[in-house]
Amino acid sequence: MRNDTLSRIGTAVGLILILVWCLLPVAWIISLSFKSQEAVTNGSPGFFPSSGGGAGWQNYVDVVKDDQFRQAIFNSIGICLIATLLSVVIATLTAYAVARLEFKGKKFVLTTALVIAMFPVVSLVGPLFDMWRTLGIYDTWIGLIIPYMSFTLPLAIWTLSAFFREIPWEMEQAAQVDGATAWQAFRRVIVPLAAPGVFTAAILTFFFAWNDFVFGISLTSTERARPIPAALSFFVGDDPFNRPASLLAAGAVVATVPIVLLVLFFQRKIVAGLTAGAVKG
Amino acid sequence: MAAIEMKNIVKKYGDGYPAVNDVSIDVADGEFVILVGPSGCGKSTLLRMIVGLEDITSGDMLIDGERVNDLAPRDRNLSMVFQNYALYPHLTVYENIAFPLRLAKLDSKEIDEKVREASRTLDLDEHLDRKPANLSGGQRQRVAMGRAIVRDAKAFLFDEPLSNLDAKLRGQMRTEISRLQKRLGITTVYVTHDQTEAMTLGDRVAVMKKGVLQQLASPRELYEQPANLFVAGFIGSPPMNFLPATVEGDQITLPFGTFPLPADKAERTAGKGLLMAGIRPEHFEDAAVQADVDEARTFDAHIDVREWLGDQQYAYVPYDAEPEVQDQLRELAREADSDSLRTQLVVSLDSASQVREDDEAKLSIDTDKIHIFDPSTGENLTVGL
Amino acid sequence: MTTTAETATKPRREARTSDKSRAENRLAIKLVAPAIALMLLVTAFPMLRALYLSMFDYTLTAPDDRTFVGFQNYLTALSDQLFWRDTANTVFIMVVTVFFELVIGFAFAMVMHKLIFARGLVRTSILIPYGIITVVSGFAWQFAFSNTNGFVNSWIPFMNPDFNWFGDYWSAMAAIMVSEIWKTTPFMALLLLAGLAQVPEDMLEAAKVDGATWWQRLWRVILPNMRAAIMVAVLFRALDAYRIFDNIFVMTNGAQGTESISFLTYRQVIEQFQLGIGSALSVLLFLSVLVVAFGIVKLFRVDLSAARQG
């Protein structure tokens, strides 16, 4: 019995540690975003805004009013949504083939996906930079959508094929015996069953694209296509020697909001997707 | 409703291995036929060829006299109950049952009537709005059957439908399937590896081994007149005892002694060297509980283990056998999917018997019921006697 | 499902492959073609292009002066002390961060596995660092370590409040690694949690009955049974860490010699337009990732087929 209480206390302490680990830096950046810009320039150490050093919502107002920032958010949302949509459609086809069909070259597909997942992205930046300039898609949405799609495909393919594999074979066959054509079986049985998987893959793909930094800074040169992480890193304000920390923090919070919302709503699906196939294929 | 004819059906895989080899079975209209055999015997493949989920390498599959080899499953109008039921998890019980009707584009009033009728038959009325995930194993089984009976299919096909249920439920569902089939009078082909299911359900039973049909007969005939060693060993529980035997004149020599053999059996087997005798456990008895005992047909045995079951009891009598006989017995056990047992006799005794473990007992043997097999071909030499 | 039934289902699949194999093949090729084309377009093709460009002295500022130099760019890179310093930095970061992520991640996974209440809360929280943009994480920690606006100095006892974390190699590296570890440990914890869930509860109970202490159960039952999950997590995280770029870019911009190999490559190509030598570095980076991957697979005998195979 004593052992039991001990382990319960241990678990509770661990729980608190995990929460502190995950949330403290988030709380910090939120707190920072409420420090006034003067306070930051003059130095304002400490976790919370010092008395008189608070800025209220001013930093957020400034960020949202900033054209560069608004454009970057718009770019990010647009590019990531398009890349996600296309990537998931292509990955669904591939994952269905990988999970359900026997064909020569299946190994090749899986190996390619694995290699790409491990690929050092930066080593592509040079040649892509060169190629994109030649093709005239440097510093455009499409110039980012293409690499985002390619690099999110492996994750989407794994997640989806794990889902497809869980749909029993018999389900399709039963539909056929019940009088369905191949298309009806796919449409009325497989699609509704795979929908949660497709959705999960979409969320993970969106995460990945939203998170990208390397392509974002290398394949763009103006605010025309620059996504939010790259924009944040270039966001130096009036004084290039003293970064406007609190303003940046406010921008960072705004850029993080979509991700946090996704996490809040779809926590269960994301965990399932991340770990699907990670333990046992 | 229809008859199903299988003519010289062969199924070969890419590596040339015949999973089903030259099987011909005629299923009459309204008949209940069981395909039974150990795993890998091709019974499921055969069933899936009937329904169209598996291509036929050669041979003809006729339903209602029409060759269906090249028809897609949906054009064969058969209904099937899968081993894992294959219920659609995103649909309610009602919609699961209605699924084939919706595909056939019936109007909703007609669908409703038919679904309600099926659900009444299967006692599913109170579950119609639930999803399959919330049902018990037996209820899922009934939904799967509901989906099968709801449309006017030409035949029912069952692929090991009870193997996922616990023993008690399996017994209940077995009776239910039997009752349903009798009432609807619909042609049924049923695959199982369980010989009890095969014996209790089928009008006729087809025993298969390694893709080859071993015997197609009524359950009683299978039990009493097995065509070969495999069928004899596969049907019956506990299984038939196999003993090395030689027949000289009208005397049969078994590891326990020499006993008189009926003349007709002796005539077919005398002087053929080492043979294999098959005797079912119930054809032994404790001589002490029998009224008149033919002393010539008794022997003394050392009882190793005794299992008392109330209405009867089993006793185990170990014996020695030559290595080649042991090998053959092991091979037989392996083919029938059972564990390789030691060379021992299983005898079923009257519950009144007072034999004790680790003690000597006098047992009688009913040599009238003995089967004698050719050990090289496995053929039953005494069939029909 | 009974064992016999399981074995019985096997030949069915084979049957499909042989019968309809040709039609299936054709359909499958059609289905996977777009994905393969896309993945190769963005990796294999540029990689070949990099291989080609790396043989030239080629600067974007003077595109007409392109001259073939053979392996000269590789010699230049490999004989440059900068290349080896940055590789050493990268390996150092990889080893340290993966080690801490593994230990802390495992502890987190154990806690989450034991947790009966607040599961949703913990899982949601643990996904936040994973979901946060690396650049934002970099900023958050950079400001946290800052001696003018941060809180870290004031929270560590006996710490000089004016200590400049980014003024010295070791402390700057520490700050970078903290950001990296903070962001990726939750992901590690989730992978390990999934592995932990695969260790059968009755096996642990059997070990308890056999008299194993908590520590013995951990080392002799839990960890051996999680080997595959751990190795896969380590492999993926190590390769990810080897590509470290975002945090360094944001937090130090390579100052105090904290450059990683990815950062060096980026700088050559994008900031200095040295496409020739930059391409040589790209190829070297790619090769070194292969070496690291191969090394980990060999060293820890990672069974990739038990991993995220498709």
Per-residue pLDDT tens over the stretch A211-264? 899 999 889 888 888 998 988 888 765 555 567 788 888 888 988 888 888 888
CB pair distance less than 8 Å for C270 and A101? no
CA pair distance C293, C291, nearest whole angstrom: 5
How many A×B Cβ pairs under 8 Å? 56
Nearest-CA residue of chain A relative to C39? A150
Confidence of residue C14 (pLDDT cuts 50, 70, 90): very low
CB pair distance less than 8 Å for C191 and A96? no
CB pair distance less than 8 Å for C18 and B14? yes
CA pair distance B164, B2, nearest whole angstrom: 29
Question: CB of A178 within 8 Å of any CB in chain B?
Answer: yes
Which segments within chain C are labelled E, that is strand?
56-59, 62-68
**Cβ–Cβ under 8 Å, residues C5 and B163:** yes
Report how far apart, in Å, the C-alpha atoms of B169 and of each of A200, B139, B142, B200, B238 are: 38, 10, 12, 15, 22
What tokens appear for C95 in the block?
Answer: 């080893």
Nearest-CA residue of chain C relative to A164? C310
Q: Give exposure, A244-272, as e/b (b: 16+ Cβ within 10 Å).
A: bbbbbbbbbbbbbebbbebbeebbebbbb
CB neighbour class for B363 (10 Å; exposed up to 12, middle 13-18, buried from 19)? buried
CA pair distance B49, B6, nearest whole angstrom: 10
pLDDT in tens, C230-243: 888 888 889 889 98
Question: Which residue in A104, A169, A177 has the most chain B C-beta atoms within 10 A of its own C-beta, making it the best mutation to test that interface?
Answer: A177
Residues of B with Cβ-Cβ distance to C19 under 8 angstroms: 54-55
Residue carrying the six token digits 């050093």: A53
Question: Which residue in B160, B162, B338 has the most chain C C-beta atoms within 10 A of its own C-beta, making it the best mutation to test that interface?
Answer: B160
Q: What residues are paired with A117 via a beta bridge?
A: none
Question: At C58, is the secondary structure helix, strand, or coil?
Answer: strand
Give B 98-137 residues with CB within 8 A of chain A.
Answer: 99-100, 103-104
Name residue C69's amino acid: V
Which segments within chain A are labelled E, that is strand?
none
- What is the DSSP code (8-state) at residue C118? S
Residue carrying the six token digits 């989806």: A160
pLDDT at B340: 55
pLDDT at A114: 82
Confidence of residue A276 (pLDDT cuts 50, 70, 90): low
B350: phi then psi, degrees, rounded to nearest 5: -60, 145
- Indicate if the pLDDT at residue C6 is higher than 50: no
CA pair distance A14, A24, nearest whole angstrom: 15
Region A58-87: mean pLDDT is 90
Question: CB of C13 within 8 Å of any CB in chain B?
Answer: no
Confidence of residue C157 (pLDDT cuts 50, 70, 90): confident
Report, as ranges of residue numbers, the positions in chain B whose pLDDT lies below 50.
none
Nearest-CA residue of chain A relative to C19? A102
- From the list B13, B40, B83, the residue facing C15 with the nearest CB is B13
Question: CB of B83 within 8 Å of any CB in chain A?
Answer: yes
Q: What residues are paired with B302 via a beta bridge?
A: B360
CA pair distance B67, C81, nearest whole angstrom: 79
Q: What residues are paired with B348 via a beta bridge?
A: B314
Report how far apart, in Å, the C-alpha atoms of A217 and of each of A212, A245, C130, C246 are: 9, 20, 21, 10
> Is this model's pTM higher than 0.90 or not?
no
pLDDT at A278: 47
pLDDT in tens, B264-313: 999 888 888 888 899 999 999 999 888 888 888 999 989 989 998 888 89
CB pair distance less than 8 Å for B13 and C11? yes
pLDDT at C16: 44
Residues of A with Cβ-Cβ distance to C281 under 8 angstroms: 123
**Cβ–Cβ under 8 Å, residues B357 and B305:** yes
Residues of B with Cβ-Cβ distance to C12 under 8 angstroms: 44-45, 48, 54
Region C89-99: mean pLDDT is 95
Ordered strands of the B344-350 beta sheet: B305-308, B312-318, B344-350
CA pair distance C232, C228, nearest whole angstrom: 6
Confidence of residue C35 (pLDDT cuts 50, 70, 90): very high
pLDDT in tens, C172-189: 999 999 999 999 998 889
Closest CA to B277 of B248, B246, B256: B246
Residue carrying the six token digits 């308890």: C208
**Cβ–Cβ under 8 Å, residues A151 and A79:** no
Question: At C133, is the secondary structure helix, strand, or coil?
Answer: coil
Q: What residues are paired with B213 via a beta bridge?
A: B208
Closest CA to A24 of C155, C101, C114: C155
For every residue of chain B, which 3-state class applies, written as one string? Answer: CCCEEEEEEEEECCCCCEEEEEEEEEECCCCEEEEECCCCCCHHHHHHHHHCCCCCCEEEEEECCEECCCCCHHHCCCEEECCCCCCCCCCCHHHHHHHHHHHCCCCHHHHHHHHHHHHHHCCCHHHCCCCHHHCCHHHHHHHHHHHHHCCCCCEEEEECCCCCCCHHHHHHHHHHHHHHHHHHCCEEEEEECCHHHHHHHCCEEEEEECCEEEEEECHHHHHHCCCEHHHHHHCCCCCCEEEEEEEECCEEEECCEEEECCHHHHHHHCCCCCEEEEECHHHEEEHHHCCCCCHHHEEEEEECEEEECCCEEEEEEECCCCHHHHHHHHHHHHHCCCCCCCCEEEEEEECCCCCCCCEEEEEEECHHHCEEECCCCCEECCCCC
> Is residue B238 reached through a cis peptide bond, with omega within 30 degrees of 0 on the bond before it?
yes
What tokens appear for C143 in the block?
Answer: 């400001």
Calculate helix-pair angle for A141-166, A122-135, nearest 10 degrees. Answer: 120
Across all residues in chain C, what is the average pLDDT?
Answer: 83
Report how far apart, in Å, the C-alpha atoms of A90 and of each of A79, B122, C2, C183 are: 17, 44, 38, 29
C-alpha neighbours within 13 Å on the C-beta side of residue C119: 11
Q: Give exposure, B286-300, as e/b (b: 16+ Cβ within 10 Å).
A: bbbeeeeeeeebbbe
Residues of C with Cβ-Cβ distance to B44 under 8 angstroms: 8-9, 12
Strand B32-36 relative to strand B187-192: parallel, antiparallel, unpaired?
parallel
Across all residues in chain A, what is the average pLDDT?
Answer: 83
CA distance B167 to chain C (A): 12
Residues of C with Cβ-Cβ distance to A5 under 8 angstroms: none
Confidence of residue A85 (pLDDT cuts 50, 70, 90): very high
Neighbours of chain A (3+ CB pairs under 8 A): B, C
Nearest-CA residue of chain A relative to C198? A279
CB pair distance less than 8 Å for A211 and C134? yes
Give A 182-201 residues with CB within 8 A of chain B.
Answer: 184, 188-189, 192-193
Most confident of A101-105, A168-172, B112-116, B324-328: B112-116
Residue carrying the six token digits 């029998």: B290
Closest CA to B121 of B176, B186, B202, B190: B176
CB neighbour class for B152 (10 Å; exposed up to 12, middle 13-18, buried from 19)? exposed
- Indicate if the pLDDT at residue C306 is higher than 60: no
Closest CA to A45 of C153, C252, C164: C153
Residues of C with Cβ-Cβ distance to A108 under 8 angstroms: 36
CA pair distance C268, C276, nearest whole angstrom: 9
CA quadruple C87, C91, C97, C100: dihedral, nearest 10 = -160
- From the list C4, C8, C14, the residue facing B13 with the nearest CB is C14
CB neighbour class for C72 (10 Å; exposed up to 12, middle 13-18, buried from 19)? middle
**Cβ–Cβ under 8 Å, residues B25 and B69:** no
Nearest-CA residue of chain C relative to B19? C11
Q: How many CB atoms lie within 10 A of CB B14?
A: 11
CA distance B143 to chain C (A): 19
Nearest-CA residue of chain C relative to B38? C4
Please state, for a pLDDT cut of 70, what percent of chain C lies above it.
Answer: 90
Nearest-CA residue of chain A relative to B82? A170
The alpha carbons of chain C give a radius of gyration, in whole angstroms, of 25
CA distance A64 to chain C (A): 17
CB neighbour class for B220 (10 Å; exposed up to 12, middle 13-18, buried from 19)? exposed
CB neighbour class for C115 (10 Å; exposed up to 12, middle 13-18, buried from 19)? middle
Confidence of residue C7 (pLDDT cuts 50, 70, 90): very low
Stretch (H or E) spanning C16 = helix C3-19
What tokens appear for B150 in the block?
Answer: 């709801």
**Cβ–Cβ under 8 Å, residues A93 and C32:** yes
Q: Give exposure, B328-352, as e/b (b: 16+ Cβ within 10 Å).
A: bbeebbebbbeeeeebebbbbbeee
pLDDT in tens, C106-147: 999 989 888 877 788 888 888 888 888 999 999 889 888 888
pLDDT at A76: 93
CB pair distance less than 8 Å for A177 and B90? no
pLDDT at C210: 82
Region C286-290: mean pLDDT is 89
CB pair distance less than 8 Å for B89 and A193? yes
